[in-house]
Structure 1
Amino acid sequence: MAVNVETLDKLERKITLTLPVATIQSEVDARLKRLARTVKMDGFRPGKVPINVVAQRYGYSVHYEVMNDKVGQAFASAANEAQLRVAGQPTITEKEGAPEGELAFDAVFEVYPDVKIADLSDAEIEKLHAEVDDSAIDRTLDILRKQRRTFAQRALDAVAQDGDRVTVDFEGKIDGEPFQGGKAEGHQFLVGEGQMLKEFEDAVRGMKAGESKTFPLAFPEDYHGKDVAGKQADFLVTVHKIEAAHLPEVNELLAKSLGIADGTVEGLRADIKKNLEREVKFRVLARNKNAVMDALLSKAELDLPKASVQAEVARMIEAARADLKQRGIKDADKAPIPDDVFRPQAERRVRLGLVVAELVRANNLQAKPEQIKAHIDELAASYEKPADVVRWYLGDRQRLAEVEAVVVENNVTEFVLGKAKVAEKTVSFDQLMGQAA
């Protein structure tokens, strides 16, 4: 029998389901009988509880389960027969006036939309390109040297300067009163590297070991400590020790300490360049992918299923709570997070997912096994034991699905770039890193 599908709104549909009462009761009786074989009740031996006693205790819950199962099966069957692509879960309510011996239900639900993608040939996309130059390699070498620096105590009459490590005691007061987190003893920090607020660094710079100084410090309005944000404090600081930094030379010793096989400076620079080029490739791809997705959305026409958007909002709120919990926020799972915070982003994600899925379907852009394997190999290449990383990816279905999704997005990016009006733009390494940040 044909299923009658009523259109309520753009994507909202309604169908009526009917179930024979006898079918429901038959299944309820069967489940109660099975339950009677194993249920334990005071005063009866296992398997000897009378069926009427079991029905009295468990009849309501079993009836509820059967109704849920049967209505769910009836809905799935009707939706399949009508060839409907259902988005989210239906809202099912019992309907009055059903024929005798039958139960009737209205199922209201949404379907996925038809996605129309306009001609991509006039879409304008800026495609970035970046190279790794010698200055980028030099700066990376400086970072590696700083990570391996050593410190030696300066002479007693030396003054603290940028790059030095100082050991200090300090105490701050606001309106003459100490505040939480405003006092420390034996605190170490590197001058000029932003580890302390600027006024604090400025005060310590130029001081000698054994000296003390009082200075004012204005906490920024956006300071992470909300109790002191925007307030002015007076600090007393005493410098106990000043140590000069020593950076290792760029030589064979440094190369060997960094695991370079041939132990040469040339090999070290080549290894840095290879790693930076890998990072540049991923960042350029991510930037170009975003530009493609923006262009794709501008060419797509579709209605959004409310159920899908709400489900995405719920996922994002759950992820936000998990992040808060990981940071040690108390009662993070109960944190009040309004839907509106994530709704625009959720709508974009759902829209993009539907548009990409349609483009993939229409143009056979699915991820091929060899593409997935190549992407995993590339991800693993920067690790010390690539084979272990490859096994880690291949050993988990969800991790593989995540890689597959990335490969599909890459395929879509290449497809759209092949159709659109592309303006090539070369940016410096620093510009690319700045944009990514």
Structure 2
Amino acid sequence: MKITKKTTKGLKREFDIKISSKEIEERINQKLSEIALTAKIPGFRPGKIPTSILKARIGKEVRGEVLQNFIDEASKKAIQDENLQPVTKPSIDVKKYDEGSDLSASLTLEVMPIIKHIDFSKIKLSKFTAKVGDKEINDALDRIGKQNQQTQPIKKARKSKMGDTLVIDFEGKMDNVPFEGGAGKGHHLSLGSNSFIPGFEEGLVNLAAGSTKELKLSFPKDYGMEKLAGKKVSFEVKVHEIRELVNVKFDDDFAKGLGMPGIKELKKAISDQISNEHNNITRSKMKKNLLDILDNKYDFELPKGMIDQEYNSVCQSLTKEKNAKDIKQDLENKEGAKPDENMTKDEKKDAKNIAERRVKLGLLMGEIGRNNNLDITEEEINQAVMAEAQKYPGQEKQVLDYFKKNKEASQNLAGPLFEEKVFNFICEMADVKEKIVSTEELYSDDEDGKKAIKKTDIKKSKVKK
């Protein structure tokens, strides 16, 4: 076997591989002799099967296996002899081979770029933090109160208005025929909740308890059930009772209804939850700041193969986000269509920039981790699996079984863990300055964060209507 370096251009390395027919045939015969010791063929005793018989029966399969082993060995030897660190899977192209002749092939790969030493002490990061104020706690408490607010029958007879809860029976018909899912009895409907189709709740305003009303409406054209979308229907509605909201009193009894010892402990739990949300945004902004610095400050050649792979992945994601059926159908109809087939010039440019940034930062973080012996242990992966399982209460066993049967899924958790470990390492070395900001400033330019601060996981276990 002869390996010759052919090309060294940038990160690309190319080798010529030549394996003589003599080496190939010797390896094939050796393999056949090994098989002959245990092979069973009618009419022959074990270990006495002629090589020519075996070659006639399984020679093609053995030859393929031998050639593959030779190519794998050649790839490994080329990489080891040149002390290379491949970043993409080596590509093998068999140039010439016929049975009984020499094999000629080319090996092409891309290697890890040279990344200069990074002095983390010169990296300046801002740590934006916000204190949890009484207003945030009280606002969250108000939201919890509304989520768990009870109703009671109106004390004085009057007609219904928006904000009331009506106890109703209803039956919907299309062309005078009841349709599936269009009826209910004793249903509690909050007027203004928009839980029914447009016009339904509005049509029940200004009604007295005990009254009946027919509503003639139309389902929205984009309604989820195709057989009802855009169709005209009528509803016969009977109002049994009008209920109004009970003002919430935030005291120990309210807190106990949520499973907390008292109102003080409830407020502390709310404060802790908001603080955790703030900390997550603080960390997210620090990480983005760091990645921007690394992206702008360090420049090195990027492996084209990695860029191409990431570009295709980005294009596929962007295409899915368009949510356009005609584009999706068009792609499905074109066999072998490129991921950027229906993308504009600007969209392709954006996808390329995203791909290059991801590849650069991935290589940088990986290099920092390797140079500083940062590894993810099996115990850390197991802890991450447990954390994933806890996200699905009541289904923990199924989640754990999934990860147990799919080792690749478990290993996929290692990527984010490694990134977090590298990020923590850099932050310990960098010049980090804390800056106290308002909640609004902390969440500026962060839509996910704005949504997070408006929600709470504290819910009442049972709410009476």
Query: By the TM > 0.5 criterion, same fold?
Result: yes
Quick one: which of 364, 369, 383 aligns to 1:355? 364
Provide closer, same or farther for how the CA distance between residues 248 and 14 of structure 1 changes in structure 2, counting only shifts above 3 A: same
Partner of residue 276, structure 2:
278
Q: Which residue of 1 aligns with 2:67?
A: 67
Letter in 2 for 1:110: E
Provide the residue aligned with 2:323 in structure 1.
Answer: none
Distance (whole Å) between structure 1 residues aligned to residue 19 and residue 111 of structure 2: 23
The one-letter amino acid paired with 1:357 is G
Aligned to 1:426: 437
Question: d(CA) in 2 for partners of 1:237 and 1:94?
Answer: 73
Q: Aligned partners of 2:170 and 2:203: how far apart in 1?
A: 13
Per-residue CA deviations over 1:94-115 (Å, capped at 9, x if unaligned) read 34599x9853321122223234
Alignment of 1:201-280 (within 5 A): 201-206=201-206, 210-215=212-217, 225=224, 234=232, 236-241=234-239, 243-246=243-246, 249-260=249-260, 263-280=261-278
State the partner residue of 2:5: 4
Alignment of 1:26-65 (within 5 A): 26-37=26-37, 50-65=50-65
Q: Distance in 1 between matches of 2:28 and 2:265?
A: 75
For 1:412, the aligned partner's letter is I
User: What per-residue deviation string (whole Å, max 9, x for no partner) do you get for residues 170-220 of structure 1?
Assistant: 7598xx999x99x6222765443454566555445555563232356765x
Structure 1's 218 and 356: CA in aligned 2 closer, same or farther, altered over 3 A? same
Secondary structure of the residue aligned to 1:4 is strand
The alignment's TM-score, normalised by the length of structure 2, stands at: 0.65
Structure 2 vs 1, CA of residues 266 and 97 (structure 1 numbering), >3 Å: closer, same or farther? closer
Query: What's the CA shift string for 1:301-329, capped at 9, x where partnerless?
Result: 233323324444677799999xxxxxxxx
Asked whether the equivalents of residues 125 and 291 of structure 1 are also in contact (C-alpha less than 8 Å), the reply is: yes
Q: What RMSD, in angstroms, separates the aligned Cα atoms of the two structures? A: 5.2
In the alignment, what sits opposite 1:298?
296
Q: Identity of aligned pairs, percent?
A: 21
Q: State the Cα deviation string for residues 212-265 of structure 1 (Å, max 9, x = none).
A: 32356765xxx5749699x966553444455545576433334344443xx121
1:290 Cα shift? 1.7
* CA drift at 1:285: 0.7
Aligned residues: 400
Q: 1:410 aligned to 2:424?
A: yes
Q: From the superposition, tell whether residues 196 and 320 of structure 1 become closer, same or farther in structure 2 (CA, over 3 Å).
A: farther
What is the rounded CA distance, in whole Å, between the counterparts of 1:413 and 1:347 in structure 2?
24
State how far apart, in whole Å, the 1-side matches of 2:118 and 2:167 are.
63
CA 1:97–1:146 in structure 2 vs 1: closer, same or farther (change >3 Å)?
A: closer
351 and 30 in structure 1: CA distance in 2 versus 1, 3 angstrom threshold: same
- Counterparts of 1:112-191 in structure 2 under 5 Å? 112-115=112-115, 127-152=127-152, 158-162=159-163, 164=165, 167=168, 169=170, 184-186=182-184, 190-191=190-191
Contact 2:216–2:235 (Cα < 8 Å) also in 1: yes
One-letter code aligned to 2:437: T
Deviation at 1:293, TM superposition (A): 1.2
Q: 1:71 to 1:30 in 2, by over 3 A?
A: same
Q: Alpha-carbon deviation of 1:350? A: 1.9
1:289 partnered with 2:287: yes
| Distance in 2 of aligned mates of 1:354 and 1:291 | 18
Amino acid at match of 1:23: E
* Separation in 2, partners of 1:150, 1:85: 65
**Equivalent pair of 2:129/2:442 in contact (CA under 8 Å):** no
Give the superposition deviation at 1:268. 1.6
Shift in Å at residue 353 of structure 1? 0.4
- Cα deviation code 1:108-161 (max 9, x no counterpart): 222232346899999887653222222322333344445544455668854152
The SS at the match of 2:87 is strand
Deviation of the 1:361 alpha carbon: 5.2
Distance in 2 between residues matched to 1:335 and 1:352, nearest whole Å = 36
For the residues of structure 1 that align with 2:281 and 2:423, how far apart are their CA atoms? 14
Tell me, yes or no, if the aligned pair for 1:215 and 1:234 is still in contact at 8 Å. Answer: yes
Q: Distance in 1 between matches of 2:53 and 2:197?
A: 74
Partners of 2:441 and 2:160 in 1: how far apart?
34
Within 5 Å, which residues of 2 pair with 1:322-401?
339-340=339-340, 343-344=351-352, 345-360=354-369, 364=372, 366=374, 398=411, 399=413
TM-fit CA distance, 1:271: 1.8
SS in 2 for 1:138: helix
Corresponding residue for 2:455? none
What per-residue deviation string (whole Å, max 9, x for no partner) do you get for residues 17-65 of structure 1?
Answer: 2334333333323333344455566777887765433322322222112
2:132 is aligned with what amino acid?
A: V
Q: Are 2:122 and 2:430, in contact at CA under 8 Å, matched by a contact in 1?
A: no
Name the CA distance, whole Å, in 2 between partners of 1:207 and 1:50. 98
| 1:335–1:23 distance in 2 versus 1, CA, 3 Å | same
Q: Secondary structure at the match of 2:90?
A: strand
Work out whether residues 365 and 419 of structure 2, in 8 Å CA contact, stay in contact via their aligned partners in 1.
no
Kindly provide the amino acid, as one letter, of the partner of residue 53 in structure 1. I
**C-alpha contact 1:2 1:82 (8 A) present in aligned 2:** no
Give the residue type in structure 2 aligned to 1:427.
S
1:162 and 1:205 in contact (8 A); partners too: no
Structure 2 gap segments, 5+ residues each: 320-331, 452-465
What's the TM-score, normalizing by structure 1? 0.69
CA gap of 1:119–1:402, structure 2 versus 1, over 3 A, is: closer
